[in-house]
Amino acid sequence: VSRFKTNAAPLTRAEILDAAMRHARSGTLEQLSLRALADELDVTPMALYRHVRDKDDILESVADALLGEAGLPEPDEPAPAYLVALAVSLRQVVRDHPSIMALYTRRPQVRAMAVARLDGARQVLVRAGYTVDDAQRIYAAVHTYTLGFCALETARQAAGTPPPTAGQEDTDALIAGFVTEEQFRYGLGALIAGATEGSARA
Amino acid sequence: VSRFKTNAAPLTRAEILDAAMRHARSGTLEQLSLRALADELDVTPMALYRHVRDKDDILESVADALLGEAGLPEPDEPAPAYLVALAVSLRQVVRDHPSIMALYTRRPQVRAMAVARLDGARQVLVRAGYTVDDAQRIYAAVHTYTLGFCALETARQAAGTPPPTAGQEDTDALIAGFVTEEQFRYGLGALIAGATEGSARA
DNA sequence: ACCTGAACACCGTTCAAGT
DNA sequence: ACCTGAACACCGTTCAAGT
């Protein structure tokens, strides 16, 4: 079961990322190890290192590919709706693949789709009359908020339906209110309203 | 060097947390392992488990203690300033101790100081005329945004002064703009403005 | 009651060597 | 050029046993 000994085609980066994407799609990205991934590809763990920098390199590629599949909002959407759509898709990706959250706390994400999202928001906002600087500020704020929500949601998922500590049930219920769909929309709406009204338009 | 054999006083939870806090204060919380902590306390790693649930239990206690040291804002502050002060102190704690960030993505934080911060915000907002529900929504939104900023800042710190990949420098500079003091204040201000203006007051 | 000793079940990654 | 084999340097945590 070694492709080295059987003279099979050499390993490629695409092959590695495809295998990782299959894990993402089957919901097993969380427990993915390099050793298991290498096994699936009939290769030694160390063979991967010729094609990827490290494990996060793989995970970041997967994350950006998932964001790519989610796509960008229609560019003729009104700016607020465009921003909301971006937030919703990021939240969805992280919600479906919680291990992606840690990536955002480990290294700045600057892959293709991350940049395309910023660019898209910038264009829509500039067209709506904001300066480039304001557009970036607004997008950054929305992205920041969304990431915070993802962090809280990831934490709540990880806790599962928790055995609430006695005398802690109400506190827990209170904090649970932080990660409802309604609260996500509320904070997002407040932020976008505050940002778009506060900035000077051209 | 075993307190079991020398008949020393039995280990206590407070002792464990004190030792962990010393690590926090000396800036070595990041690389703390249970094995090292046990060594310092002249005890086997497993002796800790009589007094703490697991490693996160220790880390969460430290995080809440640090938040406690930061204290609460003066209760007679205007509501917006109160919320800003809460955000600033959380950011400061996470900035100084990046390993705390991961805690917020792993489990909902419901320790004493986390609850006290919510309570404080609620009181100030209710006194300013908001309903209890609105107060909670507003605080949750501010907390969410702050956590998102902490995530981005932690990522940027971890990257260090990064060797910017060729042809990626401008993208990197752009993303760096997401985690400036100015941007932190901007997003926070926009959110608080949007939230406090948007909610119906009593 | 409190702690030890040894093992379990792994990790990601380095290095030098093989073909 | 591409991959292997073995080791490095650890982790947190379980379990049964010791005093």
Express each pLDDT in A100-132 by its tens digit. Answer: 999 999 999 999 999 999 999 999 999 999 999
Question: What is the C-alpha separation between A113 and A62, in angstroms, rounded?
Answer: 11
- Determine the average pLDDT of the residues in A134-138: 97
**3-state SS string for A53-102:** CCHHHHHHHHHHHHHHHHCCCCCCCCHHHHHHHHHHHHHHHHHHCCHHHH
pLDDT score, position A107: 95
User: Cβ B108–A176 below 8 Å, yes or no?
Assistant: yes
| Residue of B104, B144, B156 with shortest CB distance to A145 | B144
Q: Give the confidence band of A202 by pLDDT, cuts at 50, 70, 90.
A: very low
Nearest CA in chain A to B153: A105
- Does B63 lie at the interface with A, CB-CB under 8 angstroms? no
CA neighbor of B196 nearest in space, from B147, B139, B148: B139
Strand C contact at CB of residue A6, distance < 7 A: no
Strand D bases within 7 angstroms of protein beta carbons:
1-6, 10-16
Q: Is the pTM of this model over 0.75?
A: yes
Question: What is the C-alpha separation between A86 and A191, in angstroms, rounded?
Answer: 14
pLDDT score, position A174: 78
- Read off the pLDDT of residues A41-69 as tens digits, 9 standing for 90 and up: 999 999 999 999 999 999 999 999 999 99
- Determine the average pLDDT of the residues in A4-25: 90
Length of chain B measured in residues = 202
Other Cβ atoms within 10 Å of B170 Cβ, number = 9
Other Cβ atoms within 10 Å of B145 Cβ, number = 29
Which pair of tokens denotes residue A108? Answer: 């700045």
Question: What is the C-alpha separation between A100 and A85, in angstroms, rounded?
Answer: 19
pLDDT score, position A36: 93
Catalogue the long-range contacts made by A42-49 (C-beta closer than 8 Å, 24 or more residues apart): A42/A1, A42/A2, A42/A3, A42/A8, A43/A2, A43/A3, A43/A4, A43/A11, A44/A2, A47/A4, A47/A11, A48/A11, A48/A16
- Read off the pLDDT of residues A70-108 as tens digits, 9 standing for 90 and up: 999 999 999 999 999 999 999 999 999 999 999 999 999
Q: What is the mean pLDDT of chain A?
A: 92
Question: What is the C-alpha separation between A103 and B35, in angstroms, rounded?
Answer: 26
Query: What 3-state class would DSSP assign to B43?
Result: coil
Low-confidence ranges of chain B (pLDDT < 50): 201-202
Q: Residues A115, A117, A123, A126: is their CA dihedral positive or negative? A: negative
Residues 43-82 of A with CB under 7 A from strand C: 45-46, 49, 54-56
